[in-house]
């Protein structure tokens, strides 16, 4: 069902991209848009993790450079039944985290230095468990691909604002202006349809993986206000990156790709008291350096 829904949503974005191409270039414009959309899908499929990590200037760490943080992710991945992902730290004071990659075998997880400074050990473990929940649920590829295509739709619509061409038959300035206004909004609706339900799923999976839903609720409460006040550098440069994070930055609830943080916290608290952490997570907590310095 998730695969079918994902295919339908990506097809809808591609169709919207083609419609814009037709509006501004006729049949030839639609064909070019189809080729571009197909190329973007293929490129993003194979390079989603590289795109996102380069966008954040993320630094890969291992047992030698950050043994405590890396060990925590390793033990959580084992609890989740996942292959070991690559682990990254992003030098950014804004507290946040994300996961990327086309499948669990090629996944990567990252946390900002701001998050590692702010949260205690249980909360860091819960956040990284949430990101591994995205990996296990195979959300990471979809979010990155949708962001790429939606960004392209916004780009071509904005381009049309300056070149109000038509479909090769004289042009329709009103249609061009409508496309500029409607296309990015339509793409945003599709992003919301994909991401909002999946955040609840990742929260639930993360609580199960770390064994402590209240730690994840506490982490979300701490991150939310700080992320709104100080967005990550990547979001400042590319707003589409906001949907990748556990908590988005400076986006109104109407246009957010995430549910309201208060609703997510309530859902986690409703899961009941924290269960006893699994032994692997307990060992990781005993030696974690939250700054990831090793």
Give me the residue spans of the domains in the chain.
2-287
The pLDDT of residue 33 is 80
pLDDT at 96 (0 to 100): 94
Condensed to tens digits (0 to 9), the pLDDT of residues 151-180 reads: 666 666 666 555 554 444 455 565 566 666
- pLDDT score for 117: 94
**Percent above pLDDT 70 for the chain:** 68
Q: Which of 79-83, 117-121, 194-198, 264-268 has the lowest mean pLDDT?
A: 194-198
Q: Where are the alpha helices (DSSP H) in the chain?
A: 2-55, 67-80, 113-118, 121-136, 140-162, 173-210, 213-229, 233-237, 261-269, 279-287
Helix (H) or strand (E) holding 59: strand 59-61
pLDDT higher than 70, residue 190: no
Q: What is the mean pLDDT of the chain?
A: 79
Which residue carries 């591994």 as its tokens?
A: 132
d(CA 114, CA 90): 9
Q: What angle do CA 30, 34, 39 make, to 5 degrees?
A: 150
Q: 25-39, 96-110, 158-172, 272-286: which range is least confident on average?
A: 272-286
Active-site residues, by number, are: 131
Lowest-pLDDT range of 24-28, 74-78, 90-94, 164-168: 164-168
For the whole model, what pTM was predicted? 0.79
């Amino acid at each position: 069902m998730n695969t079918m829904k994902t295919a339908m949503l990506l097809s809808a974005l591609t169709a919207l991209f083609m419609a814009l191409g037709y509006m501004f270039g006729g049949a030839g414009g639609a064909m070019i848009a189809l080729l571009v959309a197909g190329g973007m899908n293929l490129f993003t499929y194979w390079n989603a993790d590289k795109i996102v990590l380069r966008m954040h200037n993320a630094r890969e760490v291992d047992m030698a450079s950050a043994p405590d943080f890396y060990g925590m992710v390793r033990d959580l991945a084992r609890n989740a039944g996942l292959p070991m992902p690559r682990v990254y730290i992003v030098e950014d004071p804004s507290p946040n985290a994300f996961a990327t990659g086309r499948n669990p075998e090629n996944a990567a997880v990252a946390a900002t230095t701001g998050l590692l400074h702010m949260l205690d050990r249980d909360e860091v473990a819960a956040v990284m468990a949430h990101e591994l929940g995205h990996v296990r649920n195979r959300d990471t590829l979809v979010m990155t691909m949708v962001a790429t295509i939606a960004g392209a739709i916004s780009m071509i619509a904005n381009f049309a604002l300056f070149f109000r061409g038509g479909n090769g038959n004289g042009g329709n300035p009103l249609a061009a202006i409508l496309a500029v206004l409607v296309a990015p909004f339509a793409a945003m609706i599709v992003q919301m349809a994909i991401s909002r339900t999946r955040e609840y799923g990742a929260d639930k999976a993360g609580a199960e993986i770390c064994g402590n839903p209240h730690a994840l609720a506490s982490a979300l409460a701490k991150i939310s206000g700080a992320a709104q006040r100080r967005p990550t550098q990547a979001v400042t440069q590319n707003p589409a990156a906001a949907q990748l994070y556990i908590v988005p930055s400076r986006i109104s609830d109407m246009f957010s790709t995430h549910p309201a943080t208060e609703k997510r916290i309530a859902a986690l608290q409703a899961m009941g008291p924290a269960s006893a952490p699994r032994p692997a997570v307990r060992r990781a907590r005993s030696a974690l350096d939250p700054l990831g310095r090793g």
